[in-house]
Amino acid sequence: MIDIAGVIKRYGSTAALDRFSARIERGEVFGLVGPNGAGKTTLIKVLATLTNPDGGRVTIAGHDVVTDAPRVRALVGYVPDVPGVYQDMRVEEFLDFFADAFHLRGPRRRAAVERALERAGLGPRRADFVEQLSLGLKQRLVLAKSLLHEPEVALLDEPGTGLDPLARIALRDLLKSLARDGVTVVISSHILSDLEDICDRVALIGAGTNVRDAEGQSVLVVRGERETTQSYEIEVLGDAEAAAGAVDRFSGARSLSRQGQRLLVTLAGGPEQAAALLRHLVGGGVLVTRFDPRGPDLEQRFKRAFGGEAT
168 near another protein (CB under 8 A): no
Q: CA-to-CA distance for 161 and 33, rounded, in angstroms?
A: 14
Nearest approach, Cβ of residue 89 and another protein (Å) = 7
Residue from 32, 48, 113, 234 touching another protein (CB under 8 A): that is: 48
273 near another protein (CB under 8 A): no
Cβ closest to another protein, residue 17 vs residue 219: 17
Stretch that binds another protein, among 17-25, 54-62, 145-153, 189-197 (CB under 8 A): 145-153
Nearest approach, Cβ of residue 154 and another protein (Å) = 12
145 near another protein (CB under 8 A): yes
34 near another protein (CB under 8 A): no
Q: CA-to-CA distance for 182 and 151, rounded, in angstroms?
A: 10
One DSSP character per residue, 25-82 reads -TT-EEEEE--TTSSHHHHHHHHTTSS--SEEEEEETTEETTTTHHHHHHHEEEE-SS
100 near another protein (CB under 8 A): yes
Q: Letter for the amino acid at 194?
A: D
Q: Letter for the amino acid at 207?
A: A
Cβ closest to another protein, residue 44 vs residue 243: 44
| CA angle (97 as vertex; 125, 142 as ends), nearest 5 | 60
**135-146 and 165-180 helices, crossing angle to 10°:** 10
73 near another protein (CB under 8 A): yes
Q: CA-to-CA distance for 30 and 60, rounded, in angstroms?
A: 14
101 near another protein (CB under 8 A): yes
# residues near another protein by CB under 8 A: 30
78 near another protein (CB under 8 A): yes
Q: Letter for the amino acid at 95?
A: L
Nearest approach, Cβ of residue 182 and another protein (Å) = 21
DSSP 8-state assignment for residue 90:
B
243 near another protein (CB under 8 A): no
Stretch that binds another protein, among 21-29, 88-96, 206-214, 222-230 (CB under 8 A): 88-96
Residue from 125, 149, 201, 223 touching another protein (CB under 8 A): that is: 149
Stretch that binds another protein, among 78-86, 160-168, 189-197, 239-247 (CB under 8 A): 78-86
Q: C-alpha distances in angstroms, 9 versus 14, 17, 39?
A: 9, 5, 9
Cβ closest to another protein, residue 78 vs residue 291: 78
Q: State the alpha helices, DSSP H only, in the chain.
A: 40-47, 69-75, 91-101, 106-120, 135-146, 165-180, 192-198, 223-228, 240-249, 271-283, 298-306
Q: CA-to-CA distance for 111 and 85, rounded, in angstroms?
A: 21
49 near another protein (CB under 8 A): yes
- Which residues of the shown chain bind another protein in the complex (CB under 8 A)? 45, 48-51, 70, 73-74, 76, 78, 80, 82-89, 93, 97-98, 100-103, 142, 145-146, 149
